[in-house]
């Protein structure tokens, strides 16, 4: 597979529905047979033009200039929210001043975590901007791999580069004492073709680094505690399923729980602890036969026609599908000319549904449209069904603790709003207790994830401040996992209960 050309979808517009104060309900774990398929993003001819034009710039290694690129309409703008609910930076400048700077009987360690992140904030900001300025596509995150592992090594972590056979994956570990619990953290790194860090993974990268460093400082303040911190650098979230590969290869085996976060458009000073959709990704290729389009078109078998029939069929399917399902795709080809019958066309599609159980029959309907196009045109079809992303299964005990912390200490309102975007962390969340809050950063209207506006937002000071606040919350919840046995037993019980509910 040519990874550089794949652009699946992940997180966007997290805060779509009415805010509620409670943590989300558990969703059933999908059975092995229910591992459904990846989903799509809509692309217009105009968008495709912009995409190719700019991705060439990226491939040459030149720095992308915002001014060089036409506005890229959001391909995953699935918000149900109103425009006036968006966070407009000019109207509502953010403030992350802690409102209640006290907490429980571990406040000494809380202050260690907070002071560490405040102290490291400028270094983390510099790291974030470096990664933002060097956008790298899935499985090509070499620059991010190097700067992040160097940073973690400087902070006393044991580094494993090129982890588990993935060139751009990495692992940073800190161990204190022997035995004890293990907290996992994830840092994403990949960008999108043509629009750079339009999903804000530079912020995710430094949030993971910040959580790990803050937890290390907290453990050092309590030398009697035995525990381990494992930070994974996880490639290819936008497609390719880096975390799924690491999961299958044992990268999460040692962890008792795993945490990470993701920026999004959303209500000011808010964080979301809802689910995400299950996603199935298709690569379909049509093989026909070329002929002179004027002289002997009857001798040809038109692969582009197959792509158009597939596109039309799926567009009609969209009328009959449920409102919380999604299907989106793009057409690609080679050596196309109007006077030659195209002998090859390729399409990339993504289907999404709230759960894997919902996705299976829906993905089958999409697949039927793809196969019908081959039958209608006489083309040969090659269908590649790629890595599935499960819906996100937030551990409700972890989620509630995080919501309480960031609400009381940093003024962030927690909601249980779900998203119709998807993440490979969904698969992780079915293997062990997991927490994946989304958090709002200021952006412009219609400037959610996967837009140039969001890429700009992801390098703003306000976005950085939001990331630091969320990292503090994740570190504090992670610290409880490591040190509070009663709390962790509840986390485990909730996770086991979720597994049983699949039966
Ligand atoms: Zn994304
Ligand atoms: Zn993302």
DSSP string, 133-187: HS---TT--HHHHHHHHHHHHHTT-EEEESGGG-TT-EEEEEEESSS-EEEEEEE
Find the helix or strand (DSSP H, E) in which 344 lies.
strand 344-353
The confidence score (pLDDT) of residue 498 equals: 87
Residue 28 within any structural domain of the chain = no
Question: Whole-angstrom Cα distance, residue 68 to residue 1?
Answer: 29
Q: What separation in Å is there between the alpha carbon of 200 and the centre of ligand 1? A: 8
Provide the residue range defining the domain that includes 302. Answer: 278-387
Residue 40 within any structural domain of the chain = no
The confidence score (pLDDT) of residue 12 equals: 43
Please return the burial class of 179, using the count of CB atoms within 10 Å of its CB with bins 0-12, 13-18 and 19+: exposed
Shared domain for 282 and 230, answered yes or no, is: no
Report the alpha-carbon angle 440-422-259, nearest 5: 65
The confidence score (pLDDT) of residue 425 equals: 98
Q: Which ligand is nearest to the CA of 74?
A: 1
Shared domain for 137 and 260, answered yes or no, is: yes
Find the helix or strand (DSSP H, E) in which 308 lies.
helix 303-320
Q: Which ligand is nearest to the CA of 438?
A: 2
The confidence score (pLDDT) of residue 417 equals: 86
Hey, what are 298's tokens? Answer: 């009857």
Residue 294 within any structural domain of the chain = yes
CB atoms within 10 A of CB 3: 15
Q: What separation in Å is there between the alpha carbon of 107 and the centre of ligand 2? A: 33
The confidence score (pLDDT) of residue 387 equals: 80
Question: Whole-angstrom Cα distance, residue 327 to residue 349?
Answer: 7
Hey, what are 31's tokens? Answer: 């059975």
Shared domain for 158 and 257, answered yes or no, is: yes
Q: What separation in Å is there between the alpha carbon of 423 and the centre of ligand 2? A: 7
Shared domain for 341 and 430, answered yes or no, is: no
- Cβ(478)–Cβ(186) below 8 Å: no
Residue 21 within any structural domain of the chain = no
Whole-Å CA distances, 229 to 34, 182, 184, 232, 269: 32, 6, 6, 10, 28
Which residues surround the ion ligand 1 when the cut-off is CB under 5 Å? 10, 199
Shared domain for 163 and 286, answered yes or no, is: no
Sequential pLDDT tens for the chain (503 residues): 344 333 344 544 433 333 333 333 333 344 433 333 333 333 333 332 222 222 232 233 333 333 322 222 222 332 323 334 444 333 333 344 433 333 454 568 999 999 999 999 999 999 999 999 999 999 999 999 999 999 999 999 999 999 999 999 999 999 999 999 999 999 999 999 999 999 999 999 999 999 999 999 999 999 999 999 999 999 999 999 999 999 999 999 999 999 999 999 999 999 999 999 999 999 999 999 999 999 999 999 999 999 999 999 999 999 999 999 999 999 999 899 999 999 999 999 999 999 999 999 999 999 999 999 999 999 999 999 988 899 999 999 999 999 999 999 999 999 988 888 999 999 999 999 999 999 999 999 999 999 999 999 999 999 999 999 999 999 999 999 999 999 999 999 999 998 877 54
Whole-Å CA distances, 18 to 273, 407, 416, 440: 13, 17, 9, 15
Shared domain for 121 and 239, answered yes or no, is: yes
Q: Give the number of domains in the chain.
A: 2
Residue 119 within any structural domain of the chain = yes
Q: Give the CATH number of the domain where residue 430 resides.
A: 3.40.630.10
Shared domain for 311 and 344, answered yes or no, is: yes
What is the DSSP code (8-state) at residue 366?
Answer: H
Q: Which ligand is nearest to the CA of 239?
A: 1
Shared domain for 339 and 469, answered yes or no, is: no
Q: Taking Cα atoms as reference points, which of 413, 415, 425, 412 lies closest to residue 466?
A: 412
Question: Whole-angstrom Cα distance, residue 436 to residue 184?
Answer: 12
Q: What separation in Å is there between the alpha carbon of 438 and the centre of ligand 2? A: 10
Question: Whole-angstrom Cα distance, residue 261 to residue 209?
Answer: 12
Q: What separation in Å is there between the alpha carbon of 421 and the centre of ligand 1? A: 8
Shared domain for 270 and 379, answered yes or no, is: no
Q: Which ligand is nearest to the CA of 186?
A: 2
Shared domain for 380 and 411, answered yes or no, is: no
The confidence score (pLDDT) of residue 122 equals: 98
Shared domain for 264 and 311, answered yes or no, is: no
Q: What separation in Å is there between the alpha carbon of 501 and the centre of ligand 1? A: 30
Beta pairing, strands 170-176 & 227-234: antiparallel
Residue 451 within any structural domain of the chain = yes
Residue 339 within any structural domain of the chain = yes
Q: What separation in Å is there between the alpha carbon of 447 and the centre of ligand 2? A: 14
Q: What separation in Å is there between the alpha carbon of 12 and the centre of ligand 1? A: 7
Whole-Å CA distances, 65 to 62, 69, 115: 9, 7, 36
Whole-Å CA distances, 99 to 110, 240, 308, 439: 14, 41, 56, 18
Q: What separation in Å is there between the alpha carbon of 449 and the centre of ligand 1? A: 6
Q: Give the CATH number of the domain where residue 382 resides.
A: 3.30.70.360
CB atoms within 10 A of CB 92: 14
The confidence score (pLDDT) of residue 106 equals: 58
Give the largest CA-CA distance in the chain. Answer: 84
Question: Whole-angstrom Cα distance, residue 24 to residue 399?
Answer: 8
Shared domain for 301 and 411, answered yes or no, is: no
Q: Which ligand is nearest to the CA of 234?
A: 2
Q: What separation in Å is there between the alpha carbon of 273 and the centre of ligand 1? A: 17
Domain end position, chosen among 354, 387, 420: 387
Residue 78 within any structural domain of the chain = no
CB atoms within 10 A of CB 12: 31
DSSP helix/strand/coil, 315: helix
- The whole-model pTM stands at 0.81
């Amino acid at each position: 597979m040519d990874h550089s050309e794949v652009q699946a979808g992940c997180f966007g517009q997290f805060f779509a529905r009415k805010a509620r104060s409670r943590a989300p309900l558990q969703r059933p774990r999908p059975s092995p047979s229910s591992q459904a398929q990846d989903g799509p993003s809509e692309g217009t001819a105009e968008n495709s033009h912009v995409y190719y034009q700019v991705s060439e710039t990226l491939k040459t290694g030149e720095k992308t200039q915002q001014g060089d690129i036409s506005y890229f309409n959001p391909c995953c703008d699935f918000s149900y929210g109103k425009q006036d609910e968006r966070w407009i930076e000019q109207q509502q400048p953010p403030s992350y001043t802690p409102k209640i700077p006290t907490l429980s009987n571990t406040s000494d360690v809380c202050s260690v975590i907070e002071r560490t992140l405040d102290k490291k904030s400028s270094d983390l900001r510099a790291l974030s901007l470096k990664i933002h300025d060097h956008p790298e596509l899935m499985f090509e995150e070499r620059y991010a791999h190097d700067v992040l592992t160097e940073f973690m090594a400087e902070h006393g972590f044991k580094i494993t580069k090129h982890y588990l056979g993935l060139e751009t994956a990495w692992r940073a570990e800190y161990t204190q004492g022997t035995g004890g619990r293990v907290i996992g953290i994830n840092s994403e790194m990949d960008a999108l073709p043509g629009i750079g860090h339009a999903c804000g993974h530079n912020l995710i990268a430094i949030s993971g680094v910040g959580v790990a460093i803050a937890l290390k400082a907290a453990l050092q303040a309590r030398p009697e505690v035995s525990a381990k911190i494992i930070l994974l650098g996880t490639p290819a979230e936008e497609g390719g399923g880096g975390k799924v590969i690491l999961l299958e290869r044992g990268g999460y085996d040692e962890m008792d729980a795993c945490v990470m976060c993701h920026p999004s458009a959303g209500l000011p000073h808010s964080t979301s602890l809802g689910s995400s959709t299950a996603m199935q990704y298709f690569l379909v290729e049509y093989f026909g036969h070329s002929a002179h389009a004027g002289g002997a078109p009857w001798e040809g078998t038109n692969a582009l026609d197959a792509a158009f029939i597939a596109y039309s069929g799926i567009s009609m399917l969209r009328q009959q599908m449920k409102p919380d399902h999604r299907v989106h795709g793009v057409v690609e080809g080679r050596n196309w000319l109007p006077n030659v019958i195209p002998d090859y066309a390729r399409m990339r599609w993504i289907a999404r549904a709230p759960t894997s159980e919902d996705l299976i029959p829906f993905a089958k309907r999409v697949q039927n449209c793809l196969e019908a196009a081959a039958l209608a045109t006489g083309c040969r079809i090659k269908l590649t069904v790629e890595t599935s992303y499960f819906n996100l299964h937030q551990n409700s005990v972890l989620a509630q603790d995080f919501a309480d912390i960031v609400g009381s200490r940093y003024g962030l309102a927690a909601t249980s709003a779900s998203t119709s975007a998807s993440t490979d962390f969904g698969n992780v969340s079915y293997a062990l207790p997991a927490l994946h809050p989304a958090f709002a950063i200021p952006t412009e209207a219609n400037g959610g994830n996967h837009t140039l506006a969001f890429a700009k937002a992801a390098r703003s000071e306000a976005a950085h401040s939001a990331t630091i606040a969320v990292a503090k919350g994740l570190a504090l919840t992670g610290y409880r996992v490591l040190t509070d046995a009663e709390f962790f037993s509840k986390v485990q019980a909730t996770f086991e209960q979720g597994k049983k509910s699949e039966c």
